[in-house]
C-alpha cells in the first residue's frame, strides 16, 4: 500500500502550488508549500469542486471535491492540502492529533491520484460498511421486538413460564426422586415465585446482552423448578438459615478434600466446586447421557442470574452448552465468577480440574479409586443434601452454586449405573 | 482554536456555509436515528429534536438541542446546548450546557452535526441516574450573564457516562 511505486510524479501547474483562498491562512510558509507540492509530497491546491463528478474525491473537512487528496499516515483518511494547513494549531507545543483517529503527531503523505485498485478496495469497504449498518439496524429492531415481547410475558401472566416449568420438572423428575405431587405444587406456586424471585433478572433484561428469549425462559423455568422443588419438599417452612449453611460448609469441605491431592490446594472453594462439577460432568459424558449433561448445565446457569453482575458469564456459559465438551465448559463457567479478579488463574485451574475429572472417570482400578475417592465423597454430599431437615433458601451465589451442584449430584446418582457403581 | 461568543455571532465563512449546506442535505437524506432537524432558514443555528433511545432512562422523552455555528466552522466547534427543559443527566447542567469533551477540547473538524448528535444521544443512553451534576447550582450561577459553554474551562473527569 505505502510503496513508492504508487506515487506518480506529475507536473503541477504553478498556480496550484499555493492556496486557492479556501481559508485565510496564517503562518503558511508559501515557499515550503510550493516545494512540497512540486515534490509530490502534498497534493496540489486544486480548487475544490462543489459537486461530485465520477473521478473526484471528497475532502471530509471542507466537503469539496478534488482530483486527489493527501492521506494521513495513521489511518489513510484523505484531506485536501488547504484543510491540512488549517489543522496545525499555531503556537501550540503539543503535537497535532489526527482529526480522524486522534493519533498524535498527525502527518500526511501524498500518493497521487488513486489507482483503480485502491478505488475498488474502497468501494468494497464502503459496501461492507453499508451492509454492517443494515445488519445493525435489523438487530436493533429485532432486539426491540424481543424486549417488548419479554415485557409482555412478564406483565401479562406466567402461563408460558408455567408450561416450560412443568416440562422441565418432568425431565428432572424422571431422574431425581421428585414425585407427581410436587410437580403439581410447583406449577401452582409458580406465579408467587415469579413475583418474588427475579428482581435481579429483571434489571438484567434491560441490559444490552443479547440473550435469546428462549434461553432466558428456559433458565428461569429451571431455576423456578429447583426453587419449587425445594419449597415442595419442605412445605410451609419457617426459614432458618443456620442449618442449611452449616450443611453447605461441610459439603464444601468434602469437595475441597477431593480436590486436594490433584490441584494441590484445598483452600479454594471454587476449585473444589469446579472439580466436583467437572468430575460429575465427565462421569455423565462417559455414561453417554447427553441430555442429562444438558440438564446439569442448565441447573448451573439458573443459579447465576440471581447474582447480578456475573450474568455475562452465565451468558457465555449458555453459549457453550451445545459444545461437545459441555462438561469442561461448565467447570469454567462455574469457576470464574467466584474469583473474578483472578480470571486467568481460574481458567487454568478450570482446565486442570477438568483433566482431573477425566482421570477420575477413566480410572477403573479399585486402588486408584480408593486413593483419590472423589466420587464416594460426592455421594456423601449428595446424601447430606437429600436428608436436609431445613428448607434451602439459597442466599448467596456460593450457596446457589452448591444447590445446583447438589441437584445435579442427585440426578447423577439417580441414573448412576456402570462406572459410578464400581467406584463405590 | 480559541473561541468567544463574539466570533460565533459573526456570519459564516464561505467554507463554513458551504459545508453546512452539504451537511443539511446529507441530514435530510440520511438523518441520524432519533433526531429531527426543525426546518428554519437560519443555517447558522440549527434546532434539533432528540428522542430518548428506547430502553434507556430517557425513552419516550423529547428534548431540543440548539446548535450555533461559528464563523470558522468546522475548524471551530459548534456551540451545542439543550433548550429548556434540559434532560436530567449527571453531565448536563440545568441551563442546558453539556459537559462533553468533543464539544470543546476534543472537537475535530472531521466531526459533523450528525456525529455530534449521536455522541450526545449515546451520552444520554449510558446514564444510570437522572440527576444534575454536583456543581450545577454554582456553575449555572456563574453563567448567568449568558456565557457560552465554549468559554467554560471544562474538566472531563468521567468517561463512564
Please list every residue in chain B whose beta carbon sits closer than 8 Å to the beta carbon of residue A86.
75, 109
Give dist(CA B62, CA B85) in Å, integer: 10
Please list every residue in chain B whose beta carbon sits closer than 8 Å to the beta carbon of residue A19.
none
Res A350: pLDDT: 38
pLDDT tens-digit series, residues A15-66: 899 898 888 877 788 999 999 999 999 999 999 998 887 788 999 999 999 9
Res A284: pLDDT: 52
Q: Does A340 touch chain B (CB under 8 A)?
A: no
- Comparing C-alpha atoms, which of B150, B91, B83, B161 is closest to residue B128? B161
Q: Does A213 touch chain B (CB under 8 A)?
A: no
Mean predicted confidence (pLDDT) in B92-116: 95
**C-alpha distance from A79 to closest chain B C-alpha (Å):** 10
Is the model's pLDDT at B78 over the cut of 60?
yes
Cα angle value B96/B102/B104 (rounded, 5°): 70
Please list every residue in chain B whose beta carbon sits closer than 8 Å to the beta carbon of residue A100.
108, 110
**C-alpha distance from B74 to closest chain A C-alpha (Å):** 7
Question: Is the alpha carbon torsion for A203, A208, A212, A213 positive or negative?
Answer: positive
Task: Check A61 against B18: CB less than 8 A apart.
Answer: no
Task: Check A87 against B22: CB less than 8 A apart.
Answer: no
Give dist(CA B94, CA A236) in Å, integer: 54
Q: Does A100 touch chain B (CB under 8 A)?
A: yes
Res B44: pLDDT: 96
Q: Return mean pLDDT, chain A.
A: 60
Mean predicted confidence (pLDDT) in A326-330: 37
pLDDT band at A378 (very low <50, low <70, confident <90, very high): very low
**C-alpha distance from A8 to closest chain B C-alpha (Å):** 28
pLDDT band at B156 (very low <50, low <70, confident <90, very high): confident
pLDDT tens-digit series, residues A106-130: 999 998 887 778 788 888 988 999 9
Please list every residue in chain B whose beta carbon sits closer than 8 Å to the beta carbon of residue A138.
none
Lowest mean pLDDT of A22-31, A193-202, A275-284, B18-27, name the range. A193-202
Give dist(CA A71, CA A88) in Å, integer: 15
Lowest mean pLDDT of A370-379, B20-29, B115-124, name the range. A370-379
Neighbour count for residue A194 (Cβ, 10 Å) = 17
Mean predicted confidence (pLDDT) in A295-320: 38
Res A177: pLDDT: 45
Mean predicted confidence (pLDDT) in A358-367: 41
Res A90: pLDDT: 62
Q: Which residue among B80, B92, B99, B124 is the active-site one?
A: B99
Q: Does A16 touch chain B (CB under 8 A)?
A: no
Res A216: pLDDT: 65
Burial level of A226, CB count in 10 A (0-12/13-18/19+)? buried
Give dist(CA A303, CA A399) in Å, integer: 9
Take residue B123 and report the three cell numbers written for it.
451520552
What is the model's pTM?
0.50
pLDDT band at A279 (very low <50, low <70, confident <90, very high): low
Res A413: pLDDT: 64
Mean predicted confidence (pLDDT) in B128-157: 89
pLDDT band at A242 (very low <50, low <70, confident <90, very high): very low
Q: What is the residue whose three cell numbers read 482400578?
A: A365
A397 close to A306: Cβ distance less than 8 angstroms: yes
pLDDT band at A396 (very low <50, low <70, confident <90, very high): low
Please give the share of chain A, as a percent, with pLDDT higher than 70: 33
Q: Confirm whether B117 is a catalytic residue.
A: no
Closest chain A residue to the Cα of B22, Cα to Cα: A63
Please tell me which of the candidates B54, B55, B110 has its beta carbon nearest to residue A99: B110
Mean predicted confidence (pLDDT) in A173-180: 43
**C-alpha distance from B132 to closest chain A C-alpha (Å):** 23
Mean predicted confidence (pLDDT) in A80-94: 81
Task: Check A62 against B15: CB less than 8 A apart.
Answer: yes
Amino acid at each position: 500500500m505505502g510503496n513508492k511505486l504508487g506515487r506518480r510524479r506529475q507536473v503541477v501547474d504553478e498556480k496550484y502550488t499555493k492556496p486557492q483562498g479556501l481559508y485565510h491562512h496564517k503562518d503558511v510558509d508559501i515557499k515550503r508549500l510550493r516545494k512540497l507540492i512540486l515534490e509530490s509530497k502534498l497534493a496540489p491546491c486544486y480548487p475544490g469542486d462543489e459537486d461530485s463528478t465520477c473521478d473526484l474525491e471528497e475532502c471530509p473537512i471542507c466537503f469539496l471535491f478534488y482530483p486527489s487528496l493527501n492521506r494521513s499516515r495513521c489511518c489513510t483518511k484523505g484531506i485536501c492540502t488547504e484543510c491540512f494547513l488549517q489543522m496545525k494549531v499555531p503556537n501550540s507545543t503539543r503535537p497535532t492529533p489526527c482529526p480522524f483517529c486522534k493519533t498524535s503527531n498527525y502527518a500526511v503523505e501524498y500518493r497521487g491520484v488513486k489507482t483503480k485498485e485502491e478505488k475498488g478496495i474502497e468501494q468494497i469497504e464502503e459496501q461492507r460498511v453499508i451492509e454492517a449498518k443494515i445488519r445493525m439496524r435489523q438487530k436493533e429492531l429485532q432486539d426491540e421486538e424481543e424486549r417488548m415481547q419479554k415485557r409482555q410475558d412478564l406483565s401479562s401472566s406466567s402461563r408460558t413460564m408455567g408450561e416450560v416449568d412443568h416440562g422441565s420438572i418432568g425431565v428432572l423428575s424422571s431422574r431425581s426422586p421428585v414425585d407427581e405431587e410436587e410437580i403439581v405444587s410447583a406449577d401452582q406456586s409458580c406465579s408467587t415465585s415469579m413475583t418474588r424471585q427475579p428482581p435481579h433478572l429483571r434489571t438484567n433484561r434491560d441490559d444490552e446482552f443479547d440473550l435469546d428469549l428462549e434461553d432466558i425462559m428456559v433458565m428461569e423455568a429451571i431455576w423456578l423448578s429447583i426453587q419449587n422443588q425445594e419449597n415442595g419438599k419442605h412445605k410451609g417452612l419457617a426459614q432458618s438459615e443456620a442449618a442449611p449453611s452449616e450443611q453447605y460448609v461441610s459439603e464444601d469441605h468434602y469437595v475441597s478434600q477431593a480436590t486436594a491431592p490433584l490441584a494441590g490446594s484445598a483452600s479454594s472453594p471454587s476449585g473444589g466446586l469446579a472439580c466436583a462439577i467437572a468430575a460429575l460432568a465427565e462421569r455423565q459424558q462417559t455414561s453417554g447421557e447427553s441430555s442429562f449433561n444438558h440438564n446439569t448445565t442448565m441447573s448451573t446457569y439458573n443459579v447465576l442470574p440471581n447474582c447480578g453482575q456475573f450474568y455475562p458469564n452465565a451468558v457465555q456459559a449458555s453459549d457453550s452448552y451445545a459444545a461437545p465438551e459441555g462438561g469442561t465448559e461448565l467447570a469454567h463457567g462455574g469457576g470464574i465468577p467466584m474469583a473474578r479478579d483472578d480470571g486467568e488463574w481460574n481458567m487454568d485451574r478450570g482446565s486442570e480440574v477438568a483433566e482431573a475429572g477425566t482421570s477420575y472417570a477413566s480410572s477403573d482400578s479399585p486402588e486408584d479409586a480408593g486413593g483419590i475417592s472423589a466420587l464416594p465423597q460426592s455421594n456423601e454430599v449428595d446424601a447430606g443434601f437429600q436428608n436436609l431437615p431445613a428448607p434451602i433458601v439459597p442466599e448467596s451465589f456460593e450457596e446457589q452454586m452448591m444447590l445446583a451442584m447438589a441437584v445435579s449430584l442427585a440426578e447423577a446418582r439417580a441414573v448412576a449405573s456402570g462406572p459410578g457403581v464400581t467406584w463405590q | 482554536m480559541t473561541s468567544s461568543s463574539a466570533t460565533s455571532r459573526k456570519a459564516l465563512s464561505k467554507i463554513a456555509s458551504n459545508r453546512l449546506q452539504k451537511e443539511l442535505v446529507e441530514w435530510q437524506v440520511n438523518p441520524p436515528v432519533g433526531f429531527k432537524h426543525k426546518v428554519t432558514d437560519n443555517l447558522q443555528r440549527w434546532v434539533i429534536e432528540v428522542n430518548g433511545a428506547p430502553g434507556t432512562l430517557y425513552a419516550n422523552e423529547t428534548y431540543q438541542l440548539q446548535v450555533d455555528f461559528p464563523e470558522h466552522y468546522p475548524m471551530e466547534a459548534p456551540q451545542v446546548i439543550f433548550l429548556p427543559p434540559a434532560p436530567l443527566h449527571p453531565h448536563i447542567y440545568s441551563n442546558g450546557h453539556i459537559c462533553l469533551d468533543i464539544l470543546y477540547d476534543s472537537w475535530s473538524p472531521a466531526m459533523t452535526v450528525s456525529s455530534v448528535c449521536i455522541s450526545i444521544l449515546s451520552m444520554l443512553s449510558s446514564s444510570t441516574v437522572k440527576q444534575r451534576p454536583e456543581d450545577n447550582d454554582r456553575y449555572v450561577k456563574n453563567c448567568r450573564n449568558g456565557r457560552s459553554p465554549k468559554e467554560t474551562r471544562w474538566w472531563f473527569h468521567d468517561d463512564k457516562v
